[in-house]
């Protein structure tokens, strides 16, 4: 009888050597909500060896419609703690590092205590997004940043693209201006949607179960493919 393992079906596609290479990689996910949470889920199921989870928030009832970690049974838990338990339930061999703090210019060095192969920015704070772009470029760390998924309804309009080519994304527009003001000419890859945001007349954006999740999975796929490219 053939011996199967957790990543057997992935190994059929990428091969044993590349599967083992993924187990040596470290990915940092900043923001463990709707987008980041599905990235974490997919990375955990792709044999990534070390996951650094960064989020200061606790799970709330309003998260349940779109965040994979949000359940009636997890309300009130730190997202990083809930995800650590979930990841270990998927694969206890995965090394999980938790940073349960809000990241700003005073403590951003916390993110870079360990060598990072890829950084996923899935946070929703403009200041932090700007800091991540500058720091990753300065430190030569590969990264991808999620733009706005709020008030979007059609996941088929999501794409991974150079930020200079984004359209219909208010968050991306602000980041483009920041990069222009800071004279940042590097290529910055982002997850963005070409869909016009739905007007809700509410400062708190609306969200669905399918747009943030699709965004997170697209990002995870992109990162895993980039990590595998490095080994070819």
pLDDT band at 2 (very low <50, low <70, confident <90, very high): low
Closest CA to 92 of 35, 32, 42, 51: 51
Instruction: Give 21-76 pLDDT, tens digit per residue.
Output: 999 999 999 999 999 999 999 999 999 999 999 999 999 999 999 999 999 999 99
Residues 122 and 232: beta-carbon distance below 8 Å: no
pLDDT band at 231 (very low <50, low <70, confident <90, very high): low
Closest CA to 219 of 168, 165, 173, 158: 158
Gap between the Cα atoms of 27 and 36, Å rounded: 12
pLDDT band at 203 (very low <50, low <70, confident <90, very high): confident
Query: Which domains are seen in the chain, by residue range?
Result: 26-231 (3.40.50.720)
- Helix segments in 102-210, DSSP class H: 126-139, 170-181
* pLDDT above 90 for 123: yes
β-pair partners for 28: 52, 119
Gap between the Cα atoms of 78 and 55, Å rounded: 8
């Amino acid at each position: 009888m053939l011996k199967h393992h957790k990543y057997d079906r992935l190994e059929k596609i990428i091969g044993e050597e590349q599967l083992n290479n993924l187990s040596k990689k470290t990915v940092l996910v900043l923001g463990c909500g709707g987008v980041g949470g599905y990235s974490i889920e997919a990375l955990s199921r792709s044999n990534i060896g070390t996951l650094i989870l960064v989020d200061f928030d606790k799970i709330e009832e309003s998260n349940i419609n779109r965040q994979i970690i949000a359940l009636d049974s997890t309300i009130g838990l730190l997202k990083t703690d809930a995800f650590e338990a979930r990841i270990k339930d998927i694969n206890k061999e995965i090394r999980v590092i938790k940073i349960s703090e809000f990241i700003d210019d005073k403590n951003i060095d916390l993110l870079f205590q360990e060598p990072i192969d890829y950084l996923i920015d899935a946070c929703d704070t403009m200041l932090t997004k700007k800091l991540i772009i500058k720091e990753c470029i300065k430190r030569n760390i590969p990264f991808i940043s999620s733009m706005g998924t709020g008030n979007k309804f059609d996941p088929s309009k999501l794409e991974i693209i150079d930020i200079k080519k984004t359209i219909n994304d208010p968050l991306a527009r602000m980041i483009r201006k920041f990069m222009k003001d800071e004279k940042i000419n590097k290529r910055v890859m982002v997850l963005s949607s070409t869909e016009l945001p739905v007007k809700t007349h509410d400062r708190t954006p609306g969200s669905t179960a399918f747009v943030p999740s699709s965004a997170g999975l697209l990002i995870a796929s992109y990162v895993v493919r980039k990590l595998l490219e490095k080994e070819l």
